[in-house]
Each structure stands twice: as structure tokens, then as C-alpha cells.
């Protein structure tokens, strides 16, 4: 069910944050799942609440957020969302190696 929620695509809303039927978000570079917060204009989501377990089966979902920030800080980046970080940290490459 989690995979279905993350992978579903809506013909009316190419961006899942804009689709009211899209519930679960996934941030590839952080390996992080969340539930959309629909506080944007209309019913769009401007953020998500990170979840630590699958809402359907209870399986643990471990975000790599803290490790991502720690690695980038070690490379001298103190504001990685605002800085030009290495491309491998914008994808899942950094934790797959």
C-alpha cells in the first residue's frame, strides 16, 4: 500500500503535492516518508509530517535526514537546502554506495 501511495500519478495533478488523493510523500535524498500537510492554496501541500512507521503494516521507516545533514556539515555545508551541494546528495546515490 505504501508503494502504491507514493507511486500513484494523477492525470489532473502532475505534482503529487497538488493532488488531494495523494497522501504519502517520499523524499528520495533523505529516504524519508511523510504525510502531506494540506495547508497551501486550495488543497495543495506545502510540507509533510515525517512518519517513522508505515500506517498500513507498522513496518519501521528510518529517515536518513540526520545522517544527510551530518555528512554535508562534515563537507562544510551549514545550509544545504540553500547551498549548491554535490549532486550525489540531491539523489539517493550518497546512501546507496
Cα–Cα dist 88/97, whole Å:
10
Full-model pTM: 0.83
Are 11 and 19 in contact by the 8 Å Cβ rule? The answer is no
Query: What pLDDT, on a 0 to 100 scale, did the predictor assign at position 40?
Result: 66
Tell me the pLDDT of the chain averaged across its residues: 91
Query: What pLDDT, on a 0 to 100 scale, did the predictor assign at position 75?
Result: 97
Q: What is the mean pLDDT of residues 53-61?
A: 94
Cα–Cα dist 77/66, whole Å:
14
- Sorted by where each begins, the domain ranges of the chain are 1-63, 64-97
Q: What is the mean pLDDT of residues 35-55?
A: 84
pLDDT tens for each residue of 72-86: 999 999 999 999 999
pLDDT level of residue 39 (50, 70, 90 thresholds)? confident
Amino acid at each position: 500500500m505504501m508503494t502504491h501511495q507514493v507511486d500513484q500519478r494523477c492525470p489532473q495533478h502532475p505534482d503529487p503535492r497538488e493532488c488531494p488523493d495523494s497522501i504519502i510523500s517520499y523524499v528520495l535524498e533523505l529516504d524519508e516518508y511523510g504525510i502531506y500537510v494540506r495547508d497551501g492554496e486550495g488543497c495543495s501541500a506545502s510540507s509533510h509530517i515525517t512518519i517513522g512507521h508505515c500506517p498500513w503494516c507498522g513496518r519501521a521507516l528510518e529517515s536518513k535526514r540526520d545522517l544527510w545533514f551530518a555528512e554535508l556539515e562534515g563537507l562544510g555545508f551549514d545550509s544545504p537546502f540553500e547551498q549548491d551541494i554535490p549532486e550525489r546528495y540531491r539523489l539517493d546515490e550518497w546512501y546507496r554506495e
